[in-house]
Amino acid sequence: MNIDTYLKRIEYLGSLEPTLETLRALHRQHLLTIPYENLDIHLGRRLELNEERIFEKIVLEKRGGWCFEMNGLFARVLRDLGFEVELLSGAVGRERIGVEAEGNHLVLLVKLPQPYIADVGFGDLPEPLPLGEGDYQQGFLTVRLTNEAERWTFHNHEYGGAKGFDFALQPHQLADFAKQCHRLQTSPDSGFVQKTVCQRFLPDGFATLRGAVLTTVKAKGVTKRVIDSEKEYKQILRELFGLELEVSDLYAKVWQRHLDWMASGGVVQ
């Protein structure tokens, strides 16, 4: 993997010393330039747990990715820069689906003098968090970490797409997530299969395109609007998320799901 190519991809010109300041700067710049997205699932393309393919997709093809790809790539970058990084198994939605949630999220532990949780693959955490209980203010967003026995829980901010996730500190390899990587992109019960999502941080907030609804969150408030044409959908992907894609078939699916959702009582507020 070519570090210089990655740094150019995220438009990063800062220090490369393995320090907390560098970790914070890389983490934030990654989220400002690379979108969290699951569009390949809806384009009929298989998502792989392969470092070379992940690098090719996100860096060379200028795409985004989901947690296994985004955090898998970020872990490799950090290690190549001299950071000590461990892959941890997270669980999103354990309160709903029980033990089946284990490993449906990949999160990183960066071993600095004070250990930090880094996560560019959840979509909602702009900066790394020190591994310690408490509330943390990140801009206008407030998140929390709690600990009970061997498990930690990340409590998301009020605008997050999920309530949070829990995780243990046992280290894993990328291949350990293969079962969940397959299930989440193939099971009809998977939210990733049911709906498209793109999310990207902005200098003053973040934007999420979930299905056909674009939500922008800033300190001054939340705005929502429905993207009701293929032309505008393609324009939003290109201008807001940096994604150049052929979207005719994709948008047809997105729009039909939106219509079905509205017919079932869904409301855009």
CB 222 within 8 A of CB 159: yes
**Which of 27, 30, 42, 119 is flagged as catalytic?**
119
Establish whether 67 is a catalytic residue. yes
The residue to which tokens 């999502």 are assigned: 197
Strand residues in 83-241 grouped as ranges (E): 85-91, 102-110, 116-118, 129-130, 134-138, 141-148, 151-155, 164-172, 197-202, 205-210, 213-218, 221-226
Establish whether 258 is a catalytic residue. no
Tell me how far apart the 2 most distant CA atoms of the chain are, in Å: 54
3-class secondary structure for 52-95?
HHHHHHHHHCCCCECHHHHHHHHHHHHHHCCCCEEEEEEECCHH
CB 70 within 8 A of CB 34: yes
Establish whether 198 is a catalytic residue. no
**Which of 40, 67, 124, 181 is flagged as catalytic?**
67
**Which of 30, 42, 105, 258 is flagged as catalytic?**
105
Q: How many residues does the chain have?
A: 269
Which positions are annotated as active-site residues?
67, 105, 119
